[in-house]
């Protein structure tokens, strides 16, 4: 895998440090693309081997290989066809609405992944391994939902306040590890993981309190006001009779992507973030306050994760449950890795994972393929992207981005 990225890349982005994180983040688009392709191929093998018909035919594969091949092809192609039908375009559906709906579903699923992924990406660029998106989503969700059902406000104002509430909740949960790291040097990985668990207990407790617990069950908050819900992105006038769930949260995701691009590539703060990420000592020598940058980065990362919560809570008839964050906080890490921590890359990776999720829903219901295959594919992607630099670091192999001759030797060893 690693060998495909080396030529050309070494020339364009010289490395200053050797931290594993920076290597993972600084990879190539080609690796991301190949990782997806290979993960899908491995997923295909697993689908075939999990299939009963294939298992039957493999026992006499030498006697009649055509059975085995046909059965394998059948299983894999049916599963991936269903994945495509559920994620992009359902050519077997009866109505145009139904045909187009899968793509909008993918986009809907992608919203929280993109937003939380951007939060993780900003952290990566500053050299911070922020594992806390899960907790930041939860706290953002609590605040967004509270503003959503507790206040009676005019439509647009209400929605904007809820979004602000979500961002503030996430920002607050990001601020804690930021300030602890800046003031005391506390490791942000450990602190954010612990804060995730605190958030899980916090939401379970909050759901049993006063206004959150109108149902008396302690499991679900009241529904948010309709004035606080994201309106549908594709109005009925534009596409009559549509049943799309896609809402304006997608626009928030696009705006957030543009904001992160501007922040990292065009603003002074972004320059400081990248400088601190590349070499904190040099940044400090250059007169930057690394502590301030750390806090600021974590606050921005938390706010983006908090926005991810709004796409879950602020939908028509939405309410707060303990499962508001699902596994988005952790999926977001994968999304940021696959997107190479670049805003556009993260956006596209989020779309891809949203498509996996939407497609997996249909795949598990029309074929015998379990939805776990989708997780396997996602996990293999992470492994392929994260492993080569990790493996090099563990075995103290030279970096393939070093001069060409060393590179060739290194990749041979790495592969062996």
**Residues of this chain that bind other proteins (CB under 8 A):** 1, 38, 42, 45, 51-53, 58-64, 67, 70-71, 74-75, 78, 86, 92-93, 98, 105, 109, 112, 204, 208, 214-220, 222-223, 243, 245, 312, 317, 319, 321, 323-324, 326-327, 357-358, 361-362, 364-368, 370-371, 415
Please give the Cα distance from 242 to 100 (Å, whole number): 9
Cα dihedral sign, 404-406-409-414: negative
Nearer to other proteins, 44 or 343 (CB): 44
- CB 313 to other proteins: min, Å: 11
Helix axes 290-313, 155-184, angle to 10 degrees: 150
Residue 138: how many other CB atoms lie within 10 Å:
32
CB 131 within 8 A of CB 194: no
- CB 261 to other proteins: min, Å: 27
- CB 172 to other proteins: min, Å: 23
Q: List the one residue out of 108, 136, 110, 107 whose CA is nearest residue 122.
A: 136
Q: Residue 89 is encoded by which pair of tokens? A: 């375009």
Kindly give, in sequence order, each residue whose CB lies less than 8 Å from that of residue 302, ignoring residues fewer than 6 positions away.
119, 132, 136, 140, 170, 171, 172, 173, 174, 175
- CB 200 to other proteins: min, Å: 11
Nearer to other proteins, 187 or 201 (CB): 201
Nearer to other proteins, 94 or 285 (CB): 94
Nearer to other proteins, 138 or 298 (CB): 138
Nearer to other proteins, 258 or 415 (CB): 415
Nearer to other proteins, 291 or 370 (CB): 370
Q: What is the dihedral of CA 414, 376, 189, 392, to 10 degrees?
A: 0
Residue 268: how many other CB atoms lie within 10 Å:
8
- CB 276 to other proteins: min, Å: 34
- CB 340 to other proteins: min, Å: 21
Nearer to other proteins, 266 or 412 (CB): 412
Q: List the one residue out of 378, 273, 272 whose CA is nearest residue 327.
A: 378
- CB 60 to other proteins: min, Å: 4
- CB 199 to other proteins: min, Å: 16
Please give the Cα distance from 160 to 376 (Å, whole number): 38
- CB 243 to other proteins: min, Å: 7
Phi, psi of 277 (to 5 degrees): -70, -40
Cα dihedral sign, 63-66-68-71: negative
- CB 308 to other proteins: min, Å: 11
Nearer to other proteins, 18 or 243 (CB): 243
3-state secondary structure of 368: coil
Return the H-helix or E-strand segment holding 63.
none
Please give the Cα distance from 337 to 26 (Å, whole number): 10
Nearer to other proteins, 74 or 399 (CB): 74
Using CA atoms, how far residue 6 sits from 88, 93, 228, 415, in Å, is: 33, 45, 49, 14
DSSP state letter for 400: T
The DSSP bridge partners found for residue 247 are 232
Nearer to other proteins, 15 or 81 (CB): 81
């Amino acid at each position: 895998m690693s060998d495909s990225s080396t030529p050309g890349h070494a020339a364009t982005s010289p490395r200053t440090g050797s931290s594993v994180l920076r290597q993972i983040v600084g990879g190539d688009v080609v690796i991301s693309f190949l990782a997806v392709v290979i993960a899908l191929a491995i997923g295909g093998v697993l689908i075939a081997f999990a299939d009963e018909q294939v298992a039957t035919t493999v026992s006499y594969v030498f006697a009649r290989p055509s059975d085995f091949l046909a059965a394998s092809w059948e299983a894999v192609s049916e599963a991936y066809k269903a994945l495509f039908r559920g994620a992009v375009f359902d050519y077997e559906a009866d109505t145009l609405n139904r045909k187009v709906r899968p793509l909008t579903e993918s986009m809907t699923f992608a919203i929280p992944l993109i937003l939380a992924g951007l939060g993780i990406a900003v952290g990566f660029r500053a050299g911070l391994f922020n594992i806390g998106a899960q907790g930041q989503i939860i706290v953002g969700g609590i605040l967004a939902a509270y503003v959503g059902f507790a206040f009676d406000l005019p439509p647009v104002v209400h929605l904007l306040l809820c979004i602000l509430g979500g961002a503030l909740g996430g920002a607050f949960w990001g601020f804690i590890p930021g300030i602890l790291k800046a003031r005391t040097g506390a490791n942000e990985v450990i602190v954010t993981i612990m804060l995730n668990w605190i958030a899980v207990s916090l939401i379970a407790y909050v759901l049993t309190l006063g206004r959150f617990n109108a149902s008396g069950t302690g499991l679900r908050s009241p529904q948010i006001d309709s004035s606080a819900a994201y309106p549908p992105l594709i109005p009925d006038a534009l596409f009559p009779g549509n049943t799309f769930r896609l809402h304006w949260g997608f626009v928030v995701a696009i705006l957030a992507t543009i904001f992160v691009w501007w922040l990292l590539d065009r603003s002074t703060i972004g320059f400081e973030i990248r400088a601190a990420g590349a070499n904190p000592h040099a940044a400090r020598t250059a007169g930057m306050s690394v502590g301030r940058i750390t806090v600021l980065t974590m606050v921005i990362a938390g706010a983006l994760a908090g926005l991810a919560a709004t796409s879950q809570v602020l939908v028509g008839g939405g309410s707060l449950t303990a499962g508001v964050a699902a596994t988005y906080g952790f999926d977001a890490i994968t999304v940021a890795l696959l997107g190479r921590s670049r805003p556009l890359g993260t956006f596209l990776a989020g779309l891809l994972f949203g498509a996996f999720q939407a497609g997996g829903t249909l795949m598990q219901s029309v074929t015998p393929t379990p939805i776990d295959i989708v997780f396997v594919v996602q996990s293999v992607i992470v492994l392929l992207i994260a492993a080569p630099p990790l493996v090099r670091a563990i075995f103290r192999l030279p970096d393939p981005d070093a001069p060409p001759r060393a590179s060739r030797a290194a990749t041979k060893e790495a592969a062996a």
